[in-house]
Structure 1
């Protein structure tokens, strides 16, 4: 309802942590979530990047496995873990090509997420310091991610927005959809949510808004975030100039071919 939306926007938009206590047992209006089982330095880099760009009142919840717990705790994330700005949630390690689809369409996973508005990010995504956009600009949507090239999904009757690797989602709408219409595994989870969240009155962002949120296959000059993007070489270079953080998730050099330049 309107009051609920206003309350979420008001609480998630706060950027003053004075008097704000992070608690492992709390449920937050907004939260950032990462699932990563590898002990890789890039994990630390991207978590710091995201933490720098979200309001102080947004905690970060990292779902991890046994193999990388010590690595995370002993990294430069340690002070954020000690202050409970970062929560660590141990889970059974899931492997395989279909891992992300299975996990993000499992109600049990979402029941362990400690917030309603969820910025889900992977370590092949980054947030841009030079963007005029803020994460709080997009709180009215129940799902938003980088829009895909329309030619990829000409069969779809609705605009597909968008990539799940850097996306903002409403936990309650996801759980409502999964209760009503369990995932059928016929398409990637992000495509499935893009198509089906409207069944539970979920608000999916239009393409013209989603392109300002993140870039993957459709270029926008100053997005809030980027996800591992197959852009042409010249376009990629323009994005690097506007968002140097993009070089953390894509090579800074590119071999140009006639069809890719």
Structure 2
């Protein structure tokens, strides 16, 4: 197995080939863009995220919701996959415009092919412009139906991290209904 350090080193200079448009109306990308998964497989993005999950969601799933591609996401997702292990499938919820940028990573494509990671497209009319919009989205049935039948959902963001050498694991917190960082006035921590 490749170490986290090797994965992070391999992607330390990873940048998207084209910037992701902020406004979907400015995009010239079709709703189901043609993408390359790694170096060898050519597919429509729909093949990556439609239908049933490549792996099996049983009682737990990790989810990152990012409508725009960020350069730190691929090493972050690879790290989460390494720390959480194969029993935690990871779902990336993103915009149709960002799917091809996630698919450009051969290491992430290997996780997709092995059923550890799946890239799914957010509803096209969804605008996650601030924390209120995200909070509202987290109350929508669409999200939870897509994560079914998971009883334990780990939501993580681009600024989060799991310690690989921690004495406790995420599973140690299953006894609680909700675990999160304290939120300061103004939305910060």
TM range (shorter): 0.5 to 0.7
Distance 1:132 1:26, change over 3 A: closer
Cα distance in structure 2, aligned partners of 1:120 and 1:62: 10
Distance 1:27 1:52, change over 3 A: closer
Corresponding residue for residue 51 of structure 1: 81
Cα distance in structure 1, aligned partners of 2:123 and 2:53: 23
Tell me if 1:142 matches 2:172. no
Q: How does 1:248-259 map to 2 (within 5 A)?
A: none
Q: TM-score if structure 1 supplies the norm length?
A: 0.46
Cα distance in structure 1, aligned partners of 2:159 and 2:183: 17
**Displacement over 6 Å in runs of 4+:** none
Deviation, 1:73, is: 1.1
Tell me if 1:29 matches 2:59. yes
Corresponding residue for residue 85 of structure 1: 116
Deviation, 1:43, is: 1.0
Distance 1:23 1:110, change over 3 A: closer
Q: Which runs of 5+ in 2 are unaligned?
A: 1-51
Tell me if 1:128 matches 2:159. no
Corresponding residue for residue 90 of structure 2: 60
C-alpha offsets along residues 34-63 of structure 1, whole Å, 9 cap, x if unaligned?
Answer: 111212221112111211211321110111
Task: Give SS of 2:74's match.
Answer: helix
Deviation, 1:92, is: 2.0
Task: Give SS of 1:88's match.
Answer: strand
Cα distance in structure 1, aligned partners of 2:69 and 2:142: 24
Q: Which has the higher helix share?
A: 1
C-alpha offsets along residues 90-132 of structure 1, whole Å, 9 cap, x if unaligned?
Answer: 1224322232112101122111114221011011111112321
Q: TM-score if structure 2 supplies the norm length?
A: 0.62
Cα distance in structure 2, aligned partners of 1:26 and 1:101: 27
Within the candidate set 83, 97, 104, 2:138 is matched to 104
Cα distance in structure 1, aligned partners of 2:120 and 2:181: 27
The alignment of Structure 1 onto Structure 2 pairs a total of residues equal to 132
Cα distance in structure 1, aligned partners of 2:85 and 2:173: 13
Query: Is contact 1:59–1:84 with CA below 8 Å preserved after alignment?
Result: yes
Q: Which runs of 5+ in 1 are unaligned?
A: 1-21, 153-187, 189-215, 218-261
Query: Is contact 1:73–1:81 with CA below 8 Å preserved after alignment?
Result: no
Cα distance in structure 2, aligned partners of 1:125 and 1:23: 24
The structure whose Rg is larger is 1
Deviation, 1:148, is: 4.4
Tell me if 1:74 matches 2:78. no
Corresponding residue for residue 176 of structure 1: none
Tell me if 1:41 matches 2:41. no
